[in-house]
Amino acid sequence: MQADIEMVKALLDGGRKVVVLTGAGVSAESGVPTFRGNDGLWKSHRPEDLARPDAFAMNPELVWEFYNWRRELIGKCEPNPAHQALAEMERHIPNFLLITQNVDGLHAQAGSRKLIEMHGSLWQVRCTSCSHSREDRAELPAMPECPDCGHLLRPGVVWFGEPLIPGVLKVAIAQISSAEVFISVGTSNMVQPAASFYQLAKDHGAVTVEVNLEPTSNTGFMDFALHGKAGDILPELVTGLSK
């Protein structure tokens, strides 16, 4: 694998446009639950059943209890070496974009600025009635109310069954279509629309790289597959990059 790492480093050091997609595997290395396997339940509820607009409509207090628990848990997590390496990669590569499926805010905390949070952020709240929206890392009440109109606030994330934030997908597709190197990190590439991004990049001529703890269903289609902890592999990729 070391030979492949060196070849990918050479690609990153060549002034090419680089787009990186990250998923839950990156956050898992910071202790953020993935809600798969042994982490698959919260108080006997499947998180996928709570992260839905109809669940919020039926029982907003339960949904907010879940999200306040997640905020408290993730607030104790810190960016890991993978987050830090991606922030460093941005500083070395002028034409760089990071797209994340994660909502924990750890990329921004690590210093990433050329960043698209496809599914929003746990630290954003928005009103269910008016246009009020803000970042809020303070402890929230059980049923937080909008300071502008008094209606209930909701987490500023994209739930199952909801469209992405307007314009986000269009920008992501445009950037991936013009990428020369596309790196998928810590994602199984099974959730649409992100699951199609590697193929989109490949169809437009990009070199595709997978960084994941274990092989995925897309491994055989990637130009490079680097398997292991992202926190080990990504720091190697940025070591020695020119500015």
> Of 45, 83, 92, 119, which residue is the catalytic one?
119
CA-to-CA distance for 138 and 170, rounded, in angstroms? 32
Of the candidates 5, 26, 3, which has an alpha carbon nearest to the alpha carbon of residue 209?
Answer: 5
| CB-count burial class (<10 Å; 0-12, 13-18, 19+) for 146 | buried
Assess whether 119 carries a catalytic annotation: yes
Vertex 233 angle, CA 227 and 234, to 5°: 130
Residues 16, 97: Cα–Cα separation, whole Å: 12
If you ran DSSP here, which 8-state letter would residue 48 be given? H
Q: Which two tokens stand for residue 234?
A: 């990504």
Residues 184, 20: Cα–Cα separation, whole Å: 6
CB 176 within 8 A of CB 202: no
Which active-site residues does the annotation give? Answer: 119
